Structure 1
Amino acid sequence: MEFENKTIVITGAAGIFGRWIAAYFAKEGARLCLSDVRMDGLERAVSELGLDRSKVLLHATELTSDASMLDLVDLVKREWKAPDILVNNAGIYTRFSLLDMDIADWDRVFGVNLRAPFLLSREMAKLMIAEGKAGSIVNISSGASRKMTQNGVPYCTSKTAIDRLSKGFAMELAEYGIRVNVVEPGFAPGSEVSELSDDYVTNMLKNIPLGRSSGPMDAPAAIAYLCSEKAGFITGATLAVDGGNSIGTYKRPERDAAKAG
C-alpha cells in the first residue's frame, strides 16, 4: 500500500469528490483527517465507506472562518505534528449575474474557493517545514479556470486564481521539498448539495469527448500520483482529469450521441 500510515488532510470530505478521495487513500493505508462544514456528513461518509475509525480524524470546518480553520490546523498538529499531504478539495459553485450578485455571496465564493486554500496551505506547510517533511499539496480546480460560463463568473474567476496561487506556493515551497500541484476533476453528477436534472446530465455527457462522467477512481488516482514518489519531480503542474471536457467546444457525432444519451 503506497500511502501506508501517511497522514492526509482532505477538505470538503463529505462531498462526492471528497468521499472518493478519502476512500482511495484509505485503501492505500493512509491515515485521514476529514474536514467539512457538515459533521453529520463526515460521520455518514465514514460509515458508508467503511473507514477504520481508529485511523480517521474528523473536523467540522467553516472555511470562511479563520478561527475554525486554525482549529483544524491545531488538531492536525496535536495528533500528527504535521501532515504528509493536504488536499484542498472543498469548493462552492453559485450561479449569479454579476449585476445581481450580492457582495456577501461573492465573498463567500472567494472565501471558500481561494482564501481557505491559501490559509490552510500556508499553515499546513509551516507544520511540514517544522517537522522536516517533504510533503505534497494538491488543490482542486476546474476546467472553468480557462473557460468562462454565463452566471458562473465568480466560480471561474476563483478557479483561475487558485491555479496561480498554486504555482506561487510551488515556487516558494520548493526549497523545502514540498510540492504543490493542481487537479481538475471532470463532471460528476451525484452531489447532495447541487442536484442536477436527468436532462442536464444527458446534455453534459454529450459534450465530453470520452463520453462519460468522472468516476470514483479518476480524480483520486491522479491526486495520488501527484502525491507519490513517482511524481517527485513535478510541482506547479495542472492535470485535467475530465475526459477532454476542458479542451474546447465539442459536438458529439450523431452515431455516438445516441449511445451517450
Structure 2
Amino acid sequence: MTRPLPLPGADFTGKCVIVTGAAGIFGRWIVEAFDAAGATLLLSDRDQNAMANVAGSLSRPALTHATELTDAASIDDLVEMVGREWGAADILVNNAAVYPSGFLLDVDADEWDRIFDINLRAPFLLTRGIATQMVHQKVRGNIVMISSGASRKMRTTAAPYSISKSALDRLTKGFAVELAEYGIRCNAVEPGFAAGSTASPLTDAHVKAVTGAIPLGRASRYEDAPAAVMFLASDAASYITGATLSVDGGGSAGQILVHQDKKKAL
C-alpha cells in the first residue's frame, strides 16, 4: 500500500538527507517521506537490522551507518562518511533520542549522562560536524531538530528527558543565530503523541487516556511530523530559522479534561 506524500508537491530530488534514529517510528516516517519526495538518504541508527529493513523498503538505494550516539568517535565516523560520499549534506534531521522512565531521585550519574549524551551532546556534535562541511562546500543547508512538548512542560518520571529537550531547543536557536550568515537554517519540530514512539510498551488504556486529552482528539499520524520537517527544510520556509513548530494536535496548548458532568457549549 502506497502511503500519501506528507507534503503534497514536495520535491527533494538531488538533495542529500541524513536522518538519525532512522529505525524508530518517527525516524522511519521521516525517511519514507523524503524518499517519496526524491531525496538521497543516509540512515543512522544503532539497530543495524531494523535500519537495514527500513533501507530495503525504500524506492532507491540508501547509505546506512550504525551510529553509537554516546560515542563521539562513532559520530565523527558518520561525519567523515558524509564527507567521503557527498562532500556535504543538504539536510540533517536530528531525530534520535531516548525516553527513559524514572524519578529524579532514582537517576544515577551514568543514566543522566547517557540521556544527555544521546539527546543533547550527539545533536551538538553531529550538527557541528555536518554544518562545518556545509560551510566549506558553500551549501545553504538545513538542520531540523526533533524536540518535544516535554521541553516546556515537566513530566513526572521523565524529568531528565524534559530537561534535555529544553536544552535542545536552546541549542537549536544557538545554531540558528550562528549559522545564519552562511545561509544555513536550523529549526525544531515537536511531534505529537504516537503509540509506539517510545521504547516502552504502551497499554491500550494509556494510549486512550493520552489521546483523549489531545484537543484535536487523535494521535499523531504518519504524515504529520514528516510534513512539518519537510516544510522547514524546504524553500517555502526560507525566512524561518530558530523556530520550533509544534505538531501535536494542540497538546502543547492545553489538555482536554473530561468530567461526567461536562456540559456541551453548543
Bucket of the pairwise TM-score, normalised by the shorter protein? over 0.9
TM-superposed deviation, 1:151? 1.2
Q: Do 1:209 and 1:252's aligned partners in 2 also have CA atoms closer than 8 Å?
A: no
Is 2:163 aligned against 1:157? yes
For structure 1, the 5+ residue unaligned runs are 257-261
Compared CA separation, residues 232 and 255, structure 1 to 2 (3 A): farther
Aligned to 1:173: 179
TM-superposed deviation, 1:194? 2.2
Once structures 1 and 2 are overlaid, which stretch shifts more, 176-185 or 247-256? Answer: 247-256
Aligned to 1:51: 58
**29, 41, 57: which is aligned to 1:32?**
41
How many angstroms apart in 1 are the aligned matches of 2:259 and 2:33?
34
- Higher helix content, 1 or 2: 1
Aligned to 1:259: none
TM-superposed deviation, 1:99? 1.1
Aligned to 2:199: 193
How many angstroms apart in 2 are the aligned matches of 1:53 and 1:74?
22
TM-superposed deviation, 1:193? 2.4
Is 2:101 aligned against 1:92? no
What are the Cα deviations for residues 113-156 of structure 1, in whole angstroms up to 9, with x where unaligned?
A: 00000000100000000100000000000000000011111000
How many angstroms apart in 2 are the aligned matches of 1:192 and 1:210?
21
Is 2:11 aligned against 1:2? yes
How many angstroms apart in 1 are the aligned matches of 2:102 and 2:232?
34
Once structures 1 and 2 are overlaid, which stretch shifts more, 242-251 or 212-221? Answer: 242-251
Compared CA separation, residues 251 and 81, structure 1 to 2 (3 A): same
How many angstroms apart in 2 are the aligned matches of 1:120 and 1:158?
16
SS at match of 2:113: helix
SS at match of 1:158: helix
Aligned to 1:41: 50
Compared CA separation, residues 24 and 252, structure 1 to 2 (3 A): farther
TM-superposed deviation, 1:96? 1.4
How many angstroms apart in 2 are the aligned matches of 1:83 and 1:254?
54
Give the TM-score of the pair, scaled to structure 2. Answer: 0.92
Is 2:74 aligned against 1:68? yes
TM-superposed deviation, 1:185? 0.2
Q: Which amino acid aligns with 2:101?
A: R
How many angstroms apart in 2 are the aligned matches of 1:34 and 1:254?
48
Name the Cα RMSD after superposition.
Answer: 1.5
For structure 2, the 5+ residue unaligned runs are 1-9
How many angstroms apart in 2 are the aligned matches of 1:243 and 1:192?
19
Q: Do 2:191 and 2:220's aligned partners in 1 also have CA atoms closer than 8 Å?
A: yes
Q: Do 2:99 and 2:199's aligned partners in 1 also have CA atoms closer than 8 Å?
A: no
TM-superposed deviation, 1:70? 0.6
Q: Do 1:183 and 1:238's aligned partners in 2 also have CA atoms closer than 8 Å?
A: yes
Give the TM-score of the pair, scaled to structure 1. Answer: 0.94
What are the Cα deviations for residues 160-206 of structure 1, in whole angstroms up to 9, with x where unaligned?
A: 00000000000000000000000000000124722111110000111
**132, 140, 164: which is aligned to 2:138?**
132
What are the Cα deviations for residues 29-69 of structure 1, in whole angstroms up to 9, with x where unaligned?
A: 0000000011111011123xx21353x10000000000100
Q: Which of structure 1's runs of 4+ aligned residues deviate more than 6 A?
A: 253-256
How many angstroms apart in 1 are the aligned matches of 2:132 and 2:210?
41
